[in-house]
Amino acid sequence: MESKYSEYTREQLLKRIAELESQSAAKRNDTDNTEELKHKKPKKQGKNRPFDMTKYTKRKIALRVAYIGWNYIGFASQQDPERIPTIEDMLFKALKECKLVAEIDDSIDYTRCGRTDRGVSGLGQVIALWVRSKKLTSDPSPDLLPAEQEFPYVDTLNRMLPPDIRVLAWAPVPEDFSARYHCTSRTYKYFFSRGKMDIEKMRQGCKYFEGEHDFRNFCKMDPAKNIQSYDRHILSMTVRPVDHTQTAHIGDGTDFYEVELKGTAFLWHQVRYMMSVLFLVGQGLEPPETIRDVLDIEKVPSKPDFPMASDLPLVLYDCEFKDIEWFYSFKASTYDPFPSSLRIYLHYNELWNVQMIRSLTYQYYLTKVGSFPAVMPDKSAKTILDLVKERESDWSDGAALIPLGAGKETRVNKYKPVLLRPRCDSDQLKKEKYEVRKKRKLDAQEETQS
């Protein structure tokens, strides 16, 4: 029988021989690899052992926390971090990821100094809880570890926290320490641009807030909490220019001021309601004595209808405690070329640069639009900046501008004084209505179950 290769040329035969040799060598390699795999011991799969918290002792510590609250629904957790993100949710997540706590439950005895509202920031917030110590349970010594031998709590947590939340310091505290009840004072700052507000009148109004008063007309009531006393003590309240801002070239009234108020404790939304009426005083719509009158519960037994000021400019600036030693760096008493506080400073310096660039961009937009022309009733021309400089607190048609903070204003055609406005329900009436609603709900549940 004639071979299929009989018509191949010499070159074609050599090429075919090379192909067959290559295929034969590949088959031999596959066979060798198979035999090698048969005799090769399989690698042991690594097992992720669960972290054993019982090997470590625990200690009670306080953490000083700073946060920019603009992207969060307040400080306190609402138990729904995906839908309602809070600063506390981020802290709890970091504490668990760092294996400093096993679970967020009653065993950690968690307390916070205060609950800031949605959008409010904090520089001096303090929390306290039991966390894992570096000291092993096998260590026979009864003493706690010195701060420099402990975990670097500040650095460890900051690596896990989002950029707008930072732990500034930690402190060893007694076992019975409460961040809420052991706090001696809380200080807030509220920033605002002056506009046409009379700063001296605002300072007069602040004096009426100082001292111990019933602040039920300057807060949001929650009958479910059944608050028995609305008395709060304002230790000091001042109005002063903000340092390091130069905005006079942008327009009249663009210079910034801050209200700093220090008190032993505060009610829900108290500071923002106080600022709302203080703005009315500064705008000349209310005399400073209105604050005195609204604080008089016999004269004004329930809150008049006025809005809250904006949350954006409010910062929980400081919380004070007695006999607490804060540690701001891991090596507090020895030289450290790159301490924790320097890392935090550089972090905020980067964030500050970003915000300053945004601020400068807006400033140029303001000055550019401020140079645009506007035709007046007598056909003369002025710039928009000229109009802004001439604008008074009320318009020529009798309308009034009411500042709400953060550059926001509301315009009303006819201003009604605070003392003449409709009143909210009294505290007692709100509690009675709440009990009726609660009883109705319980009755409905019982009917459903039966």
State the Cα–Cα distance between residues 372 and 383, nearest whole angstrom. 5
> Which residues have CB under 8 Å from 331's CB, separation 6+?
148, 339
Handedness of CA 291, 295, 296, 300 (dihedral sign): positive
Helix, strand, coil share (%) of the chain residues, nearest 5:
35, 20, 40
Is 310 within 8 Å of 121 (Cβ atoms)? no
What does each C-alpha distance from 416 to 62, 110, 128, 159, 220 come to in angstroms? Answer: 48, 46, 46, 52, 21
Range list of β-strands (E), 173-305 = 183-193, 211-214, 231-241, 256-263
Single out the catalytic residue among 89, 117, 311, 318: 117
Has 305 been annotated as catalytic? no
Task: Identify the residue whose tokens are 């701060």.
Answer: 147
> Which residues have CB under 8 Å from 125's CB, separation 6+?
64, 65, 66, 67, 75, 87, 112, 113, 114, 116, 316, 319
What does each C-alpha distance from 216 to 148, 227, 298, 427 come to in angstroms? Answer: 46, 10, 12, 8
Q: What are phi and psi of 214, to 5 degrees?
A: -85, 115
Q: Which residues pair with 408 in a beta bridge?
A: 405
Task: Tell me 207's DSSP state.
Answer: H
State the Cα–Cα distance between residues 398 and 55, nearest whole angstrom. 73
The alpha-helical segments, DSSP class H, found in 296-383 are: 340-370
State the Cα–Cα distance between residues 265 and 64, nearest whole angstrom. 18
Helix (H) or strand (E) holding 219: none
Give 300-324 as a DSSP string: S-S-BS-PPPPSTTEEEEEEEESS-
Tokens, residue 346:
């550089």
Question: Shortest CA distance to 166 belongs to which of 87, 70, 276?
Answer: 87
Residues designated as active site: 117
